[in-house]
Structure 1
Amino acid sequence: MIDVRPATVFEDVRAVIGPKKPTSTVCFCLSYRIPSKLNNTLRGPERSEYVEKLCKEKPAPGVLAYDGDTPVGWAAIAPRAATTFARNRKIPHVDDLPVWSLWCIRVRPGHRGQGISHALIAAAVDFARTNNAPVVEAYPLDNGDTKVDLTMAYAGLRKNFEQAGFTKSADTTSTLAGHPRILMRLDLR
């Protein structure tokens, strides 16, 4: 049974999206969350410390999926205004609503193919709704039936968002792993 809840336990967030070696500089789901200059200056343990601080804030930086007590999945979601999507030139703004962005979905190896990404999307939407978001946006790959390298599928796939009730709102000029990204939205009002 998969349970998804706000990402408030840093050790669990680290288990899903953190580096294997604490000194490594990996995304840690910060590249769209913080300004590029800050993102480029945070190295190794500084990234962990930053994410640990985020886990203590309200709202939490995303949601985590658990299989029993084991963290197995992550979805990053936050108000768009608090992310780099607020200023991203490749992803358009459809309107002036204070939308929330859902930009990263990660399921740990060994737990894929069990519907966890679908549970993460649904829980992220519920999390945004609980925090009074009027709309949730996502920027998934529009890959059709083409296989996507799993390391680049973090943005999600169009079909998964369609299954969650999202609809395409706009094209973008962003690509990832050779696939166009589209802007999809789910109205929560």
Structure 2
Amino acid sequence: MTTPAFPVRPATAERFDDVAAILGPRNPDSAVCWCLSYRLPSKENRALAPRERAERVRQLCARPVPPGVLAYDSDLVVGWCGVGPRAELHAFTHGRTIPHVDDLPVWSIWCFRVRAGHRRRGIAQALLEGAVEHARGHGAPAVEGYPVDNRGSRVDTTMAFVGTRAMFERAGFAKAADTSSVLNGFPRVLMRRALA
């Protein structure tokens, strides 16, 4: 068995500094998402001060089920993928743009971040596959993603955080539904992969 080019590990409390290196700003007083915008109600999300965001993510990393996975190039953290039970993600449990296909307690993959200077090397694909294994290891019956269906067109780097349909298809996902969500001018589709 060969060692993966970019090993993927859960974002545990012991790896919080690596999570911060990917998600956090250089200036700790700058307001950035910290991958919380899909997880929290918008009012609560907007009310968090910059340093409170970091602390919230630190708390999530300390839970028995980490909030995502990290990719590494040797000892350097080079990527993040948010993955967790859909029931814990406010935007997907209360939003109207991403449909519910059925009542299965699926997990969702909603965010990819790859360190600048390391893009276009397969890190996002490694993160996706690692997220699937993370979900499987925690008993998820299926996992979903909501990428853009860009049909081969280039996606702006700042809007590529949801992934592309082709990327999900390469990881064994199939389209399960259309959505009414649009990102960077591209429609988003609901992709699903059964794990049970």
1:148 equivalent to 2:155? Answer yes
Deviation at 1:102, TM superposition (A): 0.3
Q: 2:182 maps to which residue?
A: 175
TM-score by length of 1: 0.98
Mapped partners of 1:53, 1:20: distance in 2: 20
Aligned residues: CA RMSD: 0.7
Q: 1:38 maps to which residue?
A: 44
Gaps of 5+ in 2: none
Mapped partners of 1:40, 1:79: distance in 2: 22
Mapped partners of 2:84, 2:105: distance in 1: 11
Q: 1:113 maps to which residue?
A: 120
1:157 equivalent to 2:161? Answer no
Residues 10-159 of structure 1: matches in 2 within 5 Å? 10-84=16-90, 85-159=92-166
Mapped partners of 1:147, 1:2: distance in 2: 24
Q: Secondary structure at the match of 2:7?
A: strand
User: Number of residue pairs matched?
Assistant: 189
Deviation at 1:113, TM superposition (A): 1.4
Query: Once structures 1 and 2 are overlaid, which stretch shifts more, 105-114 or 93-102?
Result: 105-114
Residues 103-127 of structure 1: CA distance to partner in whole angstroms, max 9, x if unpaired? 0011111111111111100000000
Q: Secondary structure at the match of 1:2?
A: coil
> What percent of counterpart residues are identical?
57
Gaps of 5+ in 1: none
Supply the AA of the counterpart residue of 1:185: R
Deviation at 1:145, TM superposition (A): 1.5
